[in-house]
Structure 1
Amino acid sequence: MHALSIPTWIIHISSVIEWIVAIWLIWTYGEVSRNRAWRALSLAMLPALVSAMCACTWHYFDNPESLEWLVNLQAGMTLVGNFTLWAAAWWIWRTKTTTTDSKPSISTYSEPQQ
């Protein structure tokens, strides 16, 4: 556990906790809004969480060569996470554009004649 300083550990651990809370909040928002795309975003965040936990685990054990596979797993999860987050963001954007296209826009509203 000597691989990182105390302030760096605080940042690592608080980032993991913050990510878990964000996943939970986004999932809750998806349930409340009844929009499955938001729940998909929370699931898409899981590979990045696994990546962060790999980094914390590797540092916790002082970066031994025997756990170097965690570095590869972290890199892979980061790559997978980037793609899943991209896909979830696209789905949210697509959901938003299809729902706004079906509603009249503000510019089509005209003031009543007096």
Structure 2
Amino acid sequence: MNVLSYLTWLVHLTSVFEWLNIIYIFILYSKFEKIPFFKKFILSLIPSFCSALSVCTLHFFNNNESFYLLINFQSFLTLISNLILYISILIYKNNINKKKVLDRKKIKC
């Protein structure tokens, strides 16, 4: 564990806790607002959390060569999580636009 400085470990670990907090906040928000989309959105945050965990695992074992597969795995998870988050935001934006259109039709009637 001596490969990284304490400040670098602090950044890595806060990144992991940040993702846990974001997931927890969305869980609370989905219960409070009762919006079913957010329950699905929480699942799209999990690959980002796993990506942060894989980097911490690699550094915990002093960047051992046997764990270099984690670098590719972390890159893959980051790519997948970014794509899933992008698609989730597009779906959410689409749902909001549809809701606005439906609300306008109700007002006109």
Same fold (TM over 0.5): yes
Question: Once superposed, which parts of structure 1, at least 4 consecutive aligned residues long, lie more than 3 Å away?
Answer: none
Structure 1 stretches lacking a partner, 5+ long:
109-114
Aligned counterpart, 2:79: 79
Structure 2 stretches lacking a partner, 5+ long:
none
**Larger Rg computed on CA atoms:** 1
8 A Cα contact 1:58 1:67, kept in partner:
yes
Pairing of 1:55-66 with structure 2 (within 5 A): 55-66=55-66
Deviations 1:71-107 (A, max 9, x none): 11101111110111111111211121111111239xx
Are 1:93 and 2:64 counterparts? no
Q: CA deviation at 1:27?
A: 2.1
CA distance in 2, matches of 1:21, 1:74: 20
Superposed CA RMSD in Å reads 1.8
TM-score (norm 2): 0.89
Aligned counterpart, 1:111: none
**Higher share in helix:** 2
Identity across aligned pairs (percent)?
28
CA distance in 2, matches of 1:30, 1:95: 16
